[in-house]
Structure 1
């Protein structure tokens, strides 16, 4: 990108004539600029001699933003003084660079590739770039980790405008490390090198900086190397809101449990009696429990336990309000099997079951239980009822519902990042690297 000089005489202006076609154009940094590109005949020259003529058949030489335009970046005003087209040695990736000049800051650059823009500057803008630490694959700058995205050798295809170095004959090895929306660029020439910081700009932001229409800029394609996801800020905010909501739900559950703690309202053990008059051999007589008080509206947890062994017990239950006759039906199955086979013991099922009834009004209630079993006939049945039970199922359903959109955005974010790294030979998603 050239040496960043202290432009002491930036206000000095003058004109230069193209030695090939005679076109005269204004030079914005007349004192320091010493290499020039003619936009008319595409000749690159110095004050003294012509260096080369560019062949413009293989690329677009017209800049999207005219030379001489004034733009504002990071609160500073810049004059667009030069334009270059470059490519990576060994492949056809091409991009465009615009040289920017500020009276106090010196040189900066605006780079565009596939409609993705970056404002790039070195230590004249960011003195703390000298603090970059790391290796060829990962560096740290301002407590942020940057990962290697690309290594390449840039080649100049075209240059127009003015420059204070020989852009045609420079030989650079570049390395790009990203931490969206920023990128660190290391340019080495021989044994010396410089760090540059690139900050991503959208086409709309570039258009606003130069006060031009958005549609004159190139169309954006794909995902830029350090392009932040458009929903990145929304995602961070969404995660904060989701986390706050989950914490609030836990707080509400805790407050509910503190004010109305779980309380056992019924606990009895029964030995079901065979009913010879019932249908089939597995029928038992109906069990009508004693009354118990419920302070509602509340959720009741009905726990059942039986000493079944290699058998089952079906337990249909009706919760009945003693005064109003309002009832709530449910049925649970208890089955437990076990054995020993091939030198190993095994079990299947459980001797426990439970059911939760929600929004039960206040009042006195009793249970009507009609058990059935294929067992031996002496299986006990333990019934425990607790009120003010926390409805964890409702909590987890709510948790799932509020997590759907954040999960969708997380997947979308991951897909976006994979697309970014698909353009790199150093993708963390590629296990071969």
Structure 2
């Protein structure tokens, strides 16, 4: 179609063949009556957030449409939205409405299809719609070609909503029209018309869908939970937990050094390695440093654990905190050959004792808090001191030889470490060892329960989120189904 504007004599063309009654000149923005070939009024040009142009083509749901008109409508003094009129090659009309970046694809519908026994809850195609709001509006700007006269009087939109669908009743004077709208993603509009930049969206659109499909998520979670249960059942029936390491370690043996354990093998898929550590702490602490070494890859998993236990009386009441045992997991340990590197320390000194007497009653041994060893020859009444048990073992003096002969062993240091806890009355000093036990857990219900808990938590969070989303969507409605404060 081809028209020459009577106001500015510019040409206005559109690649469609259908009768029109009015058009807006693209050069001078006058509304032109086609029958009388005369200008009617000057209009504002739609500019703000307008992303389509008259004559632009795009394909929605497999049908190619041409933009024939753009109308900006106004509610009050500050609320605007844009309506794009589209026609297909057969002359059928559809519309795209955009407000605050939210898009609705709109088609005409017959009013008889919109039946209602309740004016606030009418039905259409088996769905019940809730009345949202009445919105009076007027035309603020326009451009393009119109197949009927543009009505500039106040129009009232009565909107009904069901999820991502809406029914809109437009009343202008005595004329009433019904339209059916469905949310359309801005990405679909952008792709359909190849738009470089889309308007940013704010707030929640009247038919905007929730960010997650709850029903779909329930189906996914149920399938995932069933799969996890079946896998857990298979693991439970095909594998068993196994103790792979268990040893008692003297603090004296790892003082200022590390102990390398025997190798052990872990078989199967990745699973937690549970470690239980016990030490007889009493109003004191102990610390264990543990390194799990993969002998094939030399990969090291390091951990450190404190064991603390304290008790006492305060205000006439007893109190206690901590424990003599701690349990922790090394998670995701894969199969392979491993060993531990262990070091440990504790609060306090080596156990002190006095007068450890030899079987022949010739010699006594004592040790103070600094670890100094004192040897006493009971017959001669003479004493000698040594820095520690190792020094005593290496000494060749007469008193050292006597002690070795009287106790019947050259390994006096080991003897002292074994006997000292029996003679010591200091609870801190008497704690001489830590017990370690490592159990391979191919059958672990912790991970199983944790995953199910996470899925349940996500579902509850999404359910609550959807409720808050809908509350926010309906906050501007005078007919909201949600309680308002």
Output the TM-score relative to the length of structure 2: 0.50
In the alignment, which of 161, 172, 177 is matched to residue 178 of structure 1? 161
Partner residue, 1:208: 191
In the alignment, which of 69, 78, 86 is matched to residue 100 of structure 1? 86
Partner residue, 1:291: none
In the alignment, which of 47, 51, 57 is matched to residue 64 of structure 1? 51
In the alignment, which of 456, 460, 464 is matched to residue 403 of structure 1? 456
Q: Which contiguous aligned blocks of 4+ residues in structure 1 show a shift greater than 6 angstroms?
A: 245-254, 392-398
Q: Secondary structure at the match of 1:158?
A: strand
In the alignment, which of 209, 213, 220 is matched to residue 228 of structure 1? 209
**Uncovered stretches (5+) of structure 1, i.e. residues with no partner:** 1-13, 255-391
For the aligned residue pairs, the C-alpha RMSD in angstroms reads 3.3
Partner residue, 1:283: none
In the alignment, which of 128, 132, 151 is matched to residue 145 of structure 1? 128
Offset of residue 430 of structure 1 = 4.1
User: In the aligned structure 1, how far is the partner of 2:191 from the partner of 2:224?
Assistant: 38
Offset of residue 74 of structure 1 = 2.6
Q: Secondary structure at the match of 2:119?
A: coil
Counterparts of 1:21-420 in structure 2, within 5 Å, are: 21-29=8-16, 31-47=18-34, 48=36, 49-55=38-44, 60=47, 63-88=50-75, 90-104=76-90, 106-123=92-109, 130-134=112-116, 135-169=118-152, 171-213=154-196, 215=197, 217-232=198-213, 235-243=214-222, 400-420=453-473
Aligned length: 274
In the alignment, which of 413, 425, 428 is matched to residue 478 of structure 2? 425
Counterparts in 2 of 1:26 and 1:393: CA distance versus 1, 3 Å: closer
Q: Note the alpha carbon deviations across 1:281-332, whole angstroms, 9 max, x for none.
A: xxxxxxxxxxxxxxxxxxxxxxxxxxxxxxxxxxxxxxxxxxxxxxxxxxxx
Counterparts in 2 of 1:62 and 1:16: CA distance versus 1, 3 Å: farther
CA contact (8 A) 1:61 1:158 kept: no
Q: Secondary structure at the match of 1:133?
A: coil
Q: Secondary structure at the match of 2:470?
A: helix
Q: Secondary structure at the match of 1:411?
A: helix
Offset of residue 400 of structure 1 = 4.1
CA contact (8 A) 1:156 1:167 kept: no
Q: Secondary structure at the match of 1:122?
A: strand
Q: Note the alpha carbon deviations across 1:197-248, whole angstroms, 9 max, x for none.
A: 11111221101111333x2x2111111110112322xx32221244456788
Offset of residue 93 of structure 1 = 1.4
CA contact (8 A) 1:122 1:196 kept: yes
Partner residue, 2:409: none
Q: State the structure with more CA Rg.
A: 2
CA contact (8 A) 1:61 1:85 kept: no
CA contact (8 A) 2:100 2:199 kept: yes
CA contact (8 A) 1:153 1:174 kept: yes
Counterparts in 2 of 1:429 and 1:45: CA distance versus 1, 3 Å: same
Counterparts in 2 of 1:401 and 1:70: CA distance versus 1, 3 Å: closer
User: In the aligned structure 2, how far is the partner of 1:430 from the partner of 1:174?
Assistant: 25
User: In the aligned structure 2, how far is the partner of 1:34 from the partner of 1:62?
Assistant: 27
Counterparts in 2 of 1:29 and 1:35: CA distance versus 1, 3 Å: farther
Q: Secondary structure at the match of 1:138?
A: coil
User: In the aligned structure 2, how far is the partner of 1:202 from the partner of 1:155?
Assistant: 26
User: In the aligned structure 2, how far is the partner of 1:41 from the partner of 1:397?
Assistant: 68
CA contact (8 A) 2:29 2:42 kept: yes
**Uncovered stretches (5+) of structure 2, i.e. residues with no partner:** 234-444
